[in-house]
Amino acid sequence: MPSAFPFDVSPFDCLTPAEQRLVRDGVDIVYLPAGKVVLDRNDEPSHLHVIIKGFVQQFEGDEVTTVFGPQDCFDARSLMAGAVSSRFVTAEEVIAYLLPRALIGTLISANATFGALLFSDLSNKLNALAQRRSHHQLYSLTLARVEDVFIRPAHVVDGWTDIVTVARLFAEHRTANVLVRPAPDQGPDLGIFTTSDLQRAILDGRALDALPVGALASFDPVSVSSRAHLFDALLLMVRHNVHRLLVITSAEEHQPATVLGVLEQLDLLSFLSNHSYLITLQISNAASIAELGAAARQLPRLIAVLHSGGTRVEHIASLVGELNAKLLERTWQLVAPADLVAASCLIVMGSEGRGEQLLRTDQDNGLILRDDYVPPADLAAICDRFSLALAAFGYPECPGGIMLSREDWRGSVSTFRLRARGWLHHPDGQTLLALAIFMDARAVCGDAALLEQVRDGVRAALTDDAGLMARFAAPVLSFTEPAQWWSRLLGRESSDALDLKKAGTFPVVHGIRALALQARVMETGTLARIDRLVEQGVLPERLAADLKESLHVLMGLRLSAGLADLELGRTAGNQVNLTQLTTLERDLLKDTLAIVRHFRDWLTQHFRLDALA
């Protein structure tokens, strides 16, 4: 059975064959009945346990803090310290591998990655993870296919079309090439004529309005199947010294290949360097809501590609934030008359406003109008159209009604300032929620100064009322993580899903928001707020660093789970299936939830939340 040691599982998956042999030669197996104390406080640990079967609970006092399951190892920390700091008890019969302390020491000194994965605190663990992801990145690029890239639509003209008409077509469609239907004596293949061929046309000497494009087009364009790998397409371009390829359907039996469009080298290279560029292009060029919809639908795929490519989740979030803002901006421009756009400020709120939205969820938006502006009579109808358009793009309407199509969330600067004062002076569940959401507001279109004016109003109305701050902060305690989510791991009959938003993201985001409100920090992003709070000496630096990492872990896990949901054709939710996490992910989640718990306790102290009840 030593041959069955889990070398494919973190941290052992980074061992060299020689190091694996050391493990195989040094490993013992232990049988532990249920309810047995494996390690107790102040024991001197002699082995690292790697569970084959069963579960072990770690107790601090009477509270279970962690559960270890198959392929998990414990307790690296006490092995390092030379003394056990908590109690480990088998929750059910356990069979585990035992690796002697000396052997672990040898492995750590021989293999830095192993040591990092085994012992590191959260941020070190993440770095080790990122390092291993780096070779994934190349991999995903070689796996991308031509059809994943933006293929420019083909404009086909007849061979007898004159050059002037073709040049006009270039200008009209902002394209650099047309496909040319061959004359009957030229064989069946399409030709291609590009802007660089115009030069030859002029030098040809014949009158341009009489010169047929067929005479100058090249009739042997290189084509590539839409299913081909991107790298092959790039190779074709290099080999034939061309800048564009004809993209054709992959030849199915008896089906003649049809032309799908043109793959430009520029597009290919920008796909490889930055896939988002093309979506940006598509959004800003969109002339109708339908075209915008096509661009919007590409976002989840872009996110999936970036995520599988190993891009850091906070980079994805900021990129997606920008793209979403662009999309909303363009939608608003298409829906609203120009004077309304100029005299108002379209804002997004909640996670969208903080720039922490990954896969799109509810619309949280509002509209601030200039005080002296008289809105068109059909303002309500315009706003409705906007909300409907977003719904069609896949942003469901906000169940709480935080949308500009509701009167509560549109109005003049003075109206909003009045409302904000109301939130602060009559705090209750509804008004505090409104305040929390508005704190995250970000301008995406129109006059951003209008938002600043409202914000100044909020700042002016703020007092140092400790009771208000405590009531504002209190919800961090309301979604306490289900008392023992690990018990679901044990009693596998119940749901294995954990709501990451409730258990993790919300307490962190809202806790930071409450601190930001108290300290009058006006940044909207949680990370930016954390930085400011550290600068002001409100948050301890260590806790701040842990919170940032935790947020990234939670976002990453939510993203993975959400993408998996989308792949299965479901709506992306906040639930993560615990049994489907890798051991490393489960480990990170455990550490993260411990940090969230710690932060919640810290907030309870800070805001004296215990005095509220």
Partner 1 sequence: MTAGWTTASRTTAGLPHPWRQLRRLWLLRRLRDPAWRFLLDPPPSREWVALDCETTGLDVRRDEIVSIGAVRIRGNRLLTSERLELLVRPSKASSPASVRIHHLRARDVVGGLEPAQAARRVLEFIGSRPLVGYYLEFDVAMLNRLVLPLTGIRLPQPQIEVSGLYYDLKYQQNPDRPIDLRFATLMKDLDLPTREAHRALNDAVMAGLAFLKLRALGHGPPLDDDSPSG
Q: Positive or negative CA dihedral for 579, 581, 587, 593? A: negative
Least distance to partner 1, CB of residue 508, Å: 35
Task: Specify the DSSP element, H or E, that contains 276.
Answer: helix 276-285
Least distance to partner 1, CB of residue 581, Å: 21
Amino acid at 561: A
Contact between residue 175 and residue 192 where contact means Cβ atoms under 8 Å apart:
no
Q: Residue 370: how many CA atoms within 13 Å on its side-chain side?
A: 14
Task: Report d(CA 221, CA 245) in Å as an integer.
Answer: 7
- CB closer to partner 1 out of 36 and 520: 36
- CB closer to partner 1 out of 70 and 427: 70
**Contact flag: residue 80 with partner 1 (CB under 8 A):** no
- CB closer to partner 1 out of 26 and 422: 26
Nearest to 307 by CA among 264, 375, 359: 359
Task: Report d(CA 185, CA 384) in Å as an integer.
Answer: 57
Stretch of 8-16, 22-30, 417-425, 564-572 lying at the interface with partner 1 (CB under 8 A): 22-30
Least distance to partner 1, CB of residue 20, Å: 14
Least distance to partner 1, CB of residue 111, Å: 20
**Contact flag: residue 18 with partner 1 (CB under 8 A):** no
**Contact flag: residue 157 with partner 1 (CB under 8 A):** no
For 383-392, give one letter per residue: b (16+ CB within 10 A) or e: bbbbbebbee
Task: Report d(CA 577, CA 491) in Å as an integer.
Answer: 14
Burial class (CB in 10 A: 0-12, 13-18, 19+), 292: buried
Structure tokens at 541: 């630096």
Least distance to partner 1, CB of residue 11, Å: 20
Least distance to partner 1, CB of residue 5, Å: 10
- CB closer to partner 1 out of 6 and 394: 6
Structure tokens at 256: 């003649």
- CB closer to partner 1 out of 23 and 347: 23
Task: Report d(CA 162, CA 213) in Å as an integer.
Answer: 6
Contact between residue 191 and residue 214 where contact means Cβ atoms under 8 Å apart:
yes
Task: Report d(CA 182, CA 165) in Å as an integer.
Answer: 17
Least distance to partner 1, CB of residue 29, Å: 4
Task: Specify the DSSP element, H or E, that contains 157.
Answer: strand 156-158
**Contact flag: residue 93 with partner 1 (CB under 8 A):** yes
Site for partner 1 in 32-71 (CB under 8 A): 32-33, 36-40, 43, 45-47, 49, 52-53
The CA-based dihedral angle spanning residues 177, 178, 182, 183, taken in that order and rounded to the nearest 10 degrees: -110
Task: Report d(CA 535, CA 529) in Å as an integer.
Answer: 10
Least distance to partner 1, CB of residue 53, Å: 5
Among 8, 17, 18, 25, binds partner 1 (CB under 8 A): 25
- CB closer to partner 1 out of 60 and 378: 60
Judged by CB under 8 A, how many residues of this single chain contact partner 1?
A: 30
- CB closer to partner 1 out of 37 and 460: 37
- CB closer to partner 1 out of 33 and 482: 33
**Contact flag: residue 339 with partner 1 (CB under 8 A):** no
**Contact flag: residue 581 with partner 1 (CB under 8 A):** no
Least distance to partner 1, CB of residue 283, Å: 54
Instruction: State the residues that interact with partner 1 by CB under 8 A.
Output: 1-4, 25-33, 36-40, 43, 45-47, 49, 52-53, 84, 93, 95, 98, 100
